[in-house]
């Protein structure tokens, strides 16, 4: 904790120093020299412009280089937090790009127990980075859409009970990595009275140090069930919009803007983003084709084909009712 505090102080001091240096140079003017009774610029106007452009470019390069170095120092410090939990950060490693992740024969034996416990390969999950990259399956037209800068903020709420720690933290990392910072008000983790020790102090200490002030943990004193747990998360939320998610998800770039834009247009809307699949055995990301969401008579969630008028419009970026 002390080392992390020192790094933060170093970062702030360096930023202040760099900002002061840039402001000092911005105040400078071309030097003039006296010639007889008149003054003339040492640099002709064109030369001054070239020098200024070159100087600003050099300053920008130096600032970016310094910030990159400081970011690397801070990242190494924060990365140590996940290592203490036996977890991995960074964008590479197993399962990179949403591809199937694998275990060695020896690891397969160790994975059997946790797999039966959680219903997915939690042992393999610990070998996959919390920040792994996954494919962006959005239609091209969706990627081309532009949104205003005045979108409302969102509180992301994850509900869990005895979920694997690595899966919860991957959900958190993914939300932070793929939601624009100015749109993400907070992340709220609602623990519906879990029994697992790693979901108590280890989880709370990690998110408090890794994302100070951004992630809140709400603890139910008894098992409340899914809906009441969601209500507890909603009570703790402070953003204009709340989003409820399972604690075993991964977000892609550009997920938030269309959701927030649609609700901004009409606050009565309830939005469900398009959901791809993460396979339980190897964490491969599997694309689901365009579909609407509905329920069977037994109230099981199901995917149904969009209505004919949606297909006739020929625009995959349009919402599906």
Convert the chain into a string of H (helix), E (strand) and C (coil): CHHHHHHHHHHHHHHHHHHHHHHHHHHCCCCEEEECCEEEECCCHHHHHHHHHHHHHHHHHHHHHHHHHHHHHHHHHHHHHHHCCCCCCCCCCECHHHCCCCCCHHHHHHHHHHHHHHCCCHHHHCCECCCCCCCCCCCHHHHHCCCCCCCCCEEEEEEECCCCHHHHHHHHHHHHHHCCCCCEEEEEEEECCCCCHHHCHHHHHHHHHHCCCCEEEEECCCCCCHHHHHHHHHHHCCCCEEEEEECCCCCCCCCHHHHHHHHHHCCCCCCCCCCCEECCCCCCEECCCCCEEEECCCCCEEEECCCHHHHHHCCCCCCCC
For residues 321 and 156, the model is more confident at 156
Which pLDDT belongs to residue 8?
55
In the chain, where are the structural domains located? 146-279, 289-320
Query: CATH homologous superfamily for 146-279?
Result: Spore Coat Polysaccharide Biosynthesis Protein SpsA; Chain A (3.90.550.10)
pLDDT exceeds cutoff 80 at 310: yes
Which pLDDT belongs to residue 46?
42
pLDDT exceeds cutoff 50 at 17: yes
Residue 184: what are its φ and ψ, rounded to 5°? -95, 105
- The mean-pLDDT minimum among 22-31, 77-86, 250-259, 297-306 falls in 22-31
- The rounded distance, in Å, linking the Cα atoms of 81 and 183 is 26
Sorting pLDDT into bands at 50, 70 and 90, what band is 180? very high
Which pLDDT belongs to residue 22?
47
pLDDT exceeds cutoff 50 at 55: yes
The mean pLDDT value of the chain amounts to: 83
pLDDT exceeds cutoff 60 at 251: yes
Which pLDDT belongs to residue 34?
41
User: If you average pLDDT over residues 27-42, what whole number do you get?
Assistant: 41
Which pLDDT belongs to residue 36?
42
Which pLDDT belongs to residue 37?
42
pLDDT exceeds cutoff 70 at 280: yes
Q: Are 261 and 268 in contact (CB under 8 A)?
A: no
Which pLDDT belongs to residue 61?
73
Sorting pLDDT into bands at 50, 70 and 90, what band is 3? very low
Please name the residue that has the structure tokens 């623990």: 191
Give the Cβ contact number of residue 273 at 10 Å: 14
234: exposed, middle or buried (Cβ count in 10 Å: 0-12, 13-18, 19+): middle
The percentage of the chain sitting over the pLDDT mark of 90, rounded to a whole number, equals: 60
pLDDT exceeds cutoff 50 at 67: yes
Sorting pLDDT into bands at 50, 70 and 90, what band is 16? low
Please name the residue that has the structure tokens 């992390």: 4
For residues 36 and 189, the model is more confident at 189
Burial 137-166 (b: 16+ CB within 10 A, else e): ebeeebeeeeeeeebebbbbbbbbbebbbb
- The mean-pLDDT minimum among 23-32, 199-208, 285-294 falls in 23-32
User: If you average pLDDT over residues 57-72, what whole number do you get?
Assistant: 68
User: If you average pLDDT over residues 252-258, what whole number do you get?
Assistant: 94
Which pLDDT belongs to residue 69?
60
Q: Are 173 and 91 in contact (CB under 8 A)?
A: no
Residue pLDDT, tens place only, 98-149: 999 999 988 988 888 888 888 899 999 999 999 999 999 999 999 999 999 8
The pTM assigned to this predicted structure is 0.75
Instruction: Tokens for 236, please give them.
Output: 């703790």
Please compute, for residue 319, the number of CA atoms within 13 A of its CA located in the half-sphere on the CB side: 12
Sorting pLDDT into bands at 50, 70 and 90, what band is 10? low
């Amino acid at each position: 904790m002390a080392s992390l505090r020192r790094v933060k102080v170093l970062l702030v001091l360096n930023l202040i120093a760099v900002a002061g240096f840039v402001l000092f140079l911005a105040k400078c003017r071309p030097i003039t020299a006296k010639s007889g009774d008149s003054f003339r610029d040492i640099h002709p106007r064109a030369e001054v412009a070239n020098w200024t452009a070159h100087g600003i470019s050099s300053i920008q390069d130096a600032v970016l280089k310094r910030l990159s170095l400081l970011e690397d120092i801070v990242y190494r410090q924060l990365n140590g937090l996940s290592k203490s939990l036996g977890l991995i950060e960074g964008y590479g490693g197993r399962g990179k790009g949403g591809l199937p992740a694998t275990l060695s024969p020896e690891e397969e034996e160790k994975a059997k127990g946790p797999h039966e416990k959680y219903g997915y390969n939690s042992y393999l999950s610990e070998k996959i980075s919390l920040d792994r990259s996954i494919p962006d399956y959005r239609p091209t037209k969706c990627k081309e859409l532009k949104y205003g800068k005045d979108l409302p903020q969102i509180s992301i709420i994850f509900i869990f009970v005895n979920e694997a720690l690595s899966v919860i933290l991957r959900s958190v990392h993914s939300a932070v990595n793929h939601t624009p910072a100015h749109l993400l008000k907070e992340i709220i983790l609602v623990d519906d009275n879990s029994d697992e020790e790693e979901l108590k102090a280890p989880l709370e200490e990690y998110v408090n140090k890794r994302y100070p002030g951004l992630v809140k943990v709400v603890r139910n004193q008894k098992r409340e069930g899914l809906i009441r747990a969601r209500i507890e998360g909603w009570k703790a939320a402070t953003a204009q919009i709340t989003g409820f998610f399972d604690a075993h998800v991964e977000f892609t770039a550009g997920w938030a803007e269309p959701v927030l834009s649609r609700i901004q247009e009409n606050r009565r809307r309830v939005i469900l983003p398009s959901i791809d699949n993460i396979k339980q055995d190897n964490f491969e990301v599997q694309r689901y084709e365009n579909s609407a969401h509905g329920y069977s008579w037994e109230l099981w969630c199901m995917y149904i084909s969009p209505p004919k008028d949606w297909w006739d419009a020929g625009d995959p970026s349009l919402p599906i009712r």
